[in-house]
Structure 1
Amino acid sequence: MSDSTINTEELGEKIVAVLKTIFDPEIPVDIYELGLIYDVFVNEDRDVKILMTLTTPNCPVAETLPLEVEEKVKSINAVNNAEVEITFDPPWTQELMSEEAKLGLGML
């Protein structure tokens, strides 16, 4: 399948797979399972916008984590461009973590 025929749903799955390779330095769980990714938008030009949060506003990786997310998503061949927007609305809570993340951290 060439890049020109890739659909946004498939691209979304590739993006999620990449997001699952990025870990929060303080919690040994990937940022997707942690619930730090609020939304992933992909338009017809294959531009990606990711709305994400951090565990706390003064998170030690507040400067570097969004850049790492951008760089890794941009490295997907079918992605034209990627932009990360950080929000603290709503603020992150442990409730946003997946069952898998909670299980991995011994919270279930």
Structure 2
Amino acid sequence: MNEVRQDGQIVDQIIKALQGVVDPELGIDLVNLGLIYGIDMTIDGTVTVTMTLTTMGCPITDVLRQMIETAIRKVNGVCRVRVDVVWEPAWTPARMSRLAKITLGYHG
């Protein structure tokens, strides 16, 4: 097992990169949608993004995965990217940021 690297500056850069990954169907980035559950980076520069999707069987899963990998690879110090899609805890609109809720007209 690789040792997890604790570097807040790199994680901040990764989050910023993920804010540039916009769901093409909703027009909101993955961070504000609340789809990103975790980011881990090992000493060797492997980043694992744990995320979910708004629905199972999402037709753009592979597109989002590629967009995430492309965005994160631009961060200095990142050598490899893994995207783990999980279904627990289930995503709900409550995970969205205020900005995403306003943009999407969600009033729940």
Same fold (TM over 0.5): yes
Matched pairs, number: 102
1:38-77 paired onto structure 2 within 5 Å: 38-77=37-76
State the AA in 2 paired with 1:43.
T
Query: For the residues of structure 1 that align with 2:70 and 2:28, how far apart are their CA atoms?
Result: 19
Q: Is the CA contact (8 Å cut-off) linking 1:8 and 1:43 kept in structure 2?
A: no
Q: How far off is 1:87 after superposition?
A: 0.8
Query: For the residues of structure 2 that align with 1:13 and 1:43, how far apart are their CA atoms?
Result: 15
Q: How far off is 1:11 after superposition?
A: 0.3
1:8-46 deviation line (CA, Å, top 9, x unaligned) = 100001001110011112212101100010000122333
Q: How far off is 1:82 after superposition?
A: 1.2
Match status 1:30 vs 2:29: yes
Partner of 1:4: none
Partner of 1:17: 16
Q: Is the CA contact (8 Å cut-off) linking 1:23 and 1:31 kept in structure 2?
A: yes
Query: For the residues of structure 1 that align with 2:88 and 2:102, how far apart are their CA atoms?
Result: 26
Query: For the residues of structure 2 that align with 1:72 and 1:28, how far apart are their CA atoms?
Result: 17
SS of 1:63's equivalent? helix
Query: For the residues of structure 2 that align with 1:67 and 1:10, how far apart are their CA atoms?
Result: 23
What RMSD in Å do the two structures reach over aligned CA positions?
Answer: 1.5
The alignment's TM-score, normalised by the length of structure 1, stands at 0.85
1:59-98 paired onto structure 2 within 5 Å: 59-98=58-97
Query: For the residues of structure 1 that align with 2:63 and 2:100, how far apart are their CA atoms?
Result: 22
The alignment's TM-score, normalised by the length of structure 2, stands at 0.85
Q: Is the CA contact (8 Å cut-off) linking 1:8 and 1:46 kept in structure 2?
A: no
Unaligned runs of 5+ in 2: 1-5
